[in-house]
Amino acid sequence: MGREQELARLIAYIKAEYPAHISLLDAKRGDIGSTAAYYAREAYERYAADAVTVNPYLGKESIDPYLPYTEDGKGIVVLCRTSNPDSDWIQQRAEDATPVYQQVASRVAQWNTRGQFMLVTGATYPEELGVVRALVGDMPLLVPGIGAQGGDLAAVLRHGLDRHQTGLLISSSRGIIYAGAGEEFAAASGAAAKDLRDQINVLRNDNKKTSYLSEK
């Protein structure tokens, strides 16, 4: 069995056993419209993913083929300010213009007429995550970079929570996947995921208290 079939079976299992969970395919697709149409079909039809990450570098024509699927409740997650250090050279640097990541955030916010979009905003740049939050309002943000990449969880929540104290999908891939190995893998990775969840909830509660006191 190839890896493609394994992925399809895994997503099918999640949907059958945990129907309330969302399957987000982190494929980072980005190509001209005709090719993007096949990528969209692969993500939403072959794998039955609920959402997929896409690269906006080729413009809106590379995103348009995904839009028809949002009518059935599917989501599109657009790369905005990614967590890797080398992203600076294109996403941030701008001498006489608005940084690219801010332009992406503003444009996607305009397209987000039915709540079908999310943005990828890395935990390693929490202040810039806050800039994105100010530009897009309550749009959900996918936040990689916690764990192996060293993102500051407290800073992410401080800058990134929306007005409802939610709005963040925080990812710690390697911190959970590599928490254990062999027979210990399931227990160790489960414990790592629960520990991160508990940390998030504690910090959210602290942030709620701080917000309440500031309003008073």
Region of poorest pLDDT, from 79-93, 122-136, 169-183 = 79-93
User: How confident is the model at residue 116, as a pLDDT?
Assistant: 96
* Other CB atoms within 10 Å distance of the CB of residue 211: 13
Q: What is the mean pLDDT of the chain?
A: 90
Q: How far apart are CA 147 and CA 67, in angstroms?
A: 32
Residue in this structure with the two tokens 């839009």, named with its chain if needed: 67
Distance of CA 125 to the CA centre of its chain: 14
The catalytic site residues sit at: 28
- DSSP string for 10-39: HHHHHHHH-TTS--EEEEEE---HHHHHHH
> CA 196, 138, 197 angle in degrees (round to 5)?
10
CATH node for 22-171? 3.20.20.70
- Evaluate if residue 129 carries a pLDDT over 50: yes
Q: Where are the domains of the chain?
A: 22-171, 174-216
- Which uninterrupted H or E stretch holds 89? helix 88-91
Residue 210 banded pLDDT, cuts 50, 70, 90: low
For residue 91, name the pLDDT band (cuts at 50, 70, 90): confident
Q: What DSSP letter does each residue of 139-204 carry, written as one string?
A: --EEE--SSTT---HHHHHHHH--TTS--EEE--HHHHHTS--GGGHHHHHHHHHHHHHHHHHHHH
Instruction: Tell me the three state secondary structure of residue 40.
Output: helix
pLDDT of residue 216: 45
Q: How far apart are CA 107 and CA 136, in angstroms?
A: 9
Half-sphere exposure of 156 (CA within 13 A, CB side): 28
Is residue 12 over pLDDT 80?
yes
Q: For the whole prediction, is pTM greater than 0.75?
A: yes
- Decide which of 1 and 19 is more confident: 19
